[in-house]
Amino acid sequence: MDQVDQTSRCGYVAIMGRPNVGKSTLLNHLLGQKICITSRKPQTTRHNMLGIKTEGANQIIFVDTPGLHSGEGSAMNRYMNRAAASAARDVDAVVFVVERARWTEGDELAAKKLQGISCPLIIAVNKVDQLEDKADLLPQLQALASSHPNAEVVPISALRGTNLDVLEKEIIKHLPESEHFFPEEQITDRSSRFLAAEIVREKIMRQMGAELPYQMAVEVEDFSEEGNILHISAVILVERQGQKKIIIGNKGERIKKIGQQARQDMETLFDAKVMLNLWVKVKSGWSDDERALRSMGFTDE
């Protein structure tokens, strides 16, 4: 009978790749709980976020990163590129997420940024559930194995949970022996206030699609508890008056729907009744103002 290895292991694993390739969806499914917002809009993730999974003797500390993209553009773009690049330093392994049967300039850029990393590399080929014939995947797997000879290549579906157990076993191989850094019940390093703001931002992104103003942020100004009721007030920041009108919608219908959907997710996450108040404020030039970004939590810490 095989003996189960009870050696305590703990380590950091960065999840990297181009924007909109499925990194946040992957982390949510690995954790079995939603802590990262997702949408079809590129650059949904703006911050590095820790997702902590503790199972038996193993604790994996995942770092979900903003998508690596070309062009520095605004202060916001520069911040996101720094956040993503910094995650590859001082981790025990990197999971590089790519999409099956598709290799873009964004993937090429991300691959270049990962050249020279000293830690083990695992390439997760995502969305394999969308392939009718799995044999079509073989040329891509061979090409990735050839271009990254030291990497392990694992085909997965983040959305369907396909092969995530295989990916996790591969990750655990690279965890160093160590005491756990976080309590067993903790799943993220982010505050409830931060998670509430991210939920509101996700609902805006999903509601608005192509109309979405890229220069949009959410700040939670009040997060207080009264009995089993959470009172949350958040301001949605945009850069122009026209963007404010778009988010509010005709007779306030759009912001009402955003609030309803966000409140439902918050009640599930916080296991409490939520009273949510939203309003929209115009703050010109905030997304290219380093000081304004720091005041809203966009720091390199």
Cα 74 to Cα 78, 180, 205, 238, 293: the distances in Å are 6, 38, 20, 15, 11
Q: What CA–CA distance (Å, rounded) separates 181 from 178? A: 8
Q: What CA–CA distance (Å, rounded) separates 175 from 238? A: 42
20 is in an annotated binding site: yes
129 is in an annotated binding site: yes
64 is in an annotated binding site: yes
Residue 140 identity: Q
Q: What CA–CA distance (Å, rounded) separates 237 from 284? A: 9
73 is in an annotated binding site: no
58 is in an annotated binding site: no
21 is in an annotated binding site: yes
Cα 122 to Cα 13, 67, 185, 237: the distances in Å are 10, 17, 27, 38
128 is in an annotated binding site: yes
23 is in an annotated binding site: yes
Q: What CA–CA distance (Å, rounded) separates 168 from 42? A: 26
188 is in an annotated binding site: no
19 is in an annotated binding site: yes
112 is in an annotated binding site: no
17 is in an annotated binding site: yes
Binding site per annotation, positions: 17-24, 64-68, 126-129
Binding site per annotation, positions for GTP: 17-24, 64-68, 126-129
